[in-house]
């Protein structure tokens, strides 16, 4: 694109829990930048991901979903982190909704927050690949409040191209000498390697434990060490609040934790381009939410 004007800006991605924000961001950027699972509370802190291409540079800020009733310490912390992010200087807001879920008090709370942000806004209706249950009519009236609206499937990368085109159109021109927060090519994130690896491990716990494990689990990485040019050693702990959850995560004869570790190790290796030895244990810590959330 010779002689074309470069764009540069920051986009805030907001919505209630489990509407598909992390899946959208992962597929739009083309790399794993946020963990995803079928459960709410997967993203626990804002993640900034960098998209660079010939049209310019965009920083996407993926916020944790906002909970209507934040009764436990973790949910309260997530809401605090999200609300703090909303006060950052952004150029555009993407408000994502899931048409397969009814509009409720939680949705109204998020919409109320979005209305207070004086920036261009795009309504993104996600999961249009699912048509067996739809409350789309409940969201149609909202389109009038937004600069644009798009219907997409983040999971199947449907209609992401037109949405990205419009995002670039709404971005300001890049100022001479401007350098948006550059980060390593993988992961394209603002968080360090230990946090990234811990999030991958936690994702595997979420995905592989089904409904058995409530939101009483986190992962902590204590050490990452290069043992040779082609081998990286990772020492990690999965923390949970009770012995019974620990037994479930370990599984009969240790099969479940081996399975979790195997899937996590393969994805870490893919991310860093090296072989990985993952040493992961399970511990009980009733107070981990106070220390690690």
DSSP secondary structure string, 225-247?
EEEETTEEEEEEEEEESSHHHHH
Q: What are phi and psi of 11, to 5 degrees?
A: -120, 130
Per-residue tokens: 82: 């999200």
Model confidence pLDDT, tens digit, residues 192-214: 567 778 877 887 887 777 665 65
Domain 193-292 has CATH 3.30.300.20: yes
Let me know: does 58 contact 171? Beta carbons within 8 Å.
yes
pTM of the model: 0.58
Q: Is the pLDDT of residue 233 over 60?
A: yes
Comparing 140 with 291, which gets the higher pLDDT? Answer: 140
The pLDDT tens digits for 126-141 are 999 988 888 888 888 8
Q: Which CATH number is 7-170 given? A: 3.40.50.300
Backbone dihedral region of 81: left (phi > 0), alpha (psi from -120 to 50 degrees) or beta? alpha
Q: Per-residue confidence at 36, pLDDT binned at 50, 70, 90? A: very low
Q: Residue 293: name the closest of 68, 80, 66, 25 by CA.
A: 80
Average confidence score pLDDT of the chain: 77
Tell whether the torsion through CA atoms of 111, 114, 120 and 121 is positive or negative: negative
Contact, 148 vs 112, CB < 8 A? no
Domain borders along the chain are 7-170, 193-292
Query: What pLDDT does 169 receive?
Result: 95
């Amino acid at each position: 694109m010779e002689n074309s004007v470069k764009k540069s800006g920051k986009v805030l991605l907001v919505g209630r829990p489990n509407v598909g924000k992390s899946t959208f961001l992962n597929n739009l950027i083309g790399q794993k930048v946020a963990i995803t699972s079928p459960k709410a509370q997967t993203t626990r802190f804002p993640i900034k991901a960098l998209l660079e291409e010939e049209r310019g540079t965009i920083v996407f800020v993926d916020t944790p979903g906002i909970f209507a009733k934040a009764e436990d310490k973790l949910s309260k912390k997530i809401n605090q982190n999200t609300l703090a992010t909303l006060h950052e200087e952004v150029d555009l807001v993407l408000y994502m909704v899931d048409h397969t879920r009814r509009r409720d008090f939680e949705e109204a709370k998020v919409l109320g927050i979005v209305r207070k942000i004086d920036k261009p806004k795009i309504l993104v209706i996600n999961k249009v690949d699912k048509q067996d249950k739809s409350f789309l009519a409940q969201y149609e009236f909202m389109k009038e409040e937004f600069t644009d609206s798009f219907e997409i499937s983040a999971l199947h990368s449907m209609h992401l191209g037109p949405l990205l085109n419009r995002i670039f159109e709404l971005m300001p021109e890049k100022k001479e000498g401007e350098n948006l927060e550059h980060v390593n090519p993988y992961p394209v994130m603002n968080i360090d390697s230990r946090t990234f690896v811990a999030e991958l491990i936690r994702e595997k716990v979420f995905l592989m434990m089904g409904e058995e494990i409530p939101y009483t689990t986190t992962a902590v990485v204590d050490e990452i060490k290069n043992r040779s040019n082609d081998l990286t050693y990772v020492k990690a702990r999965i923390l949970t609040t009770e012995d019974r959850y620990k037994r479930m995560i370990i599984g009969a004869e240790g099969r479940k934790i081996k399975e979790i570790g195997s899937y996590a190790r393969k994805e870490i290796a893919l991310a860093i381009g090296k072989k990985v030895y993952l040493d992961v244990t399970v511990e009980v810590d009733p107070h981990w939410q106070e220390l690690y959330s």
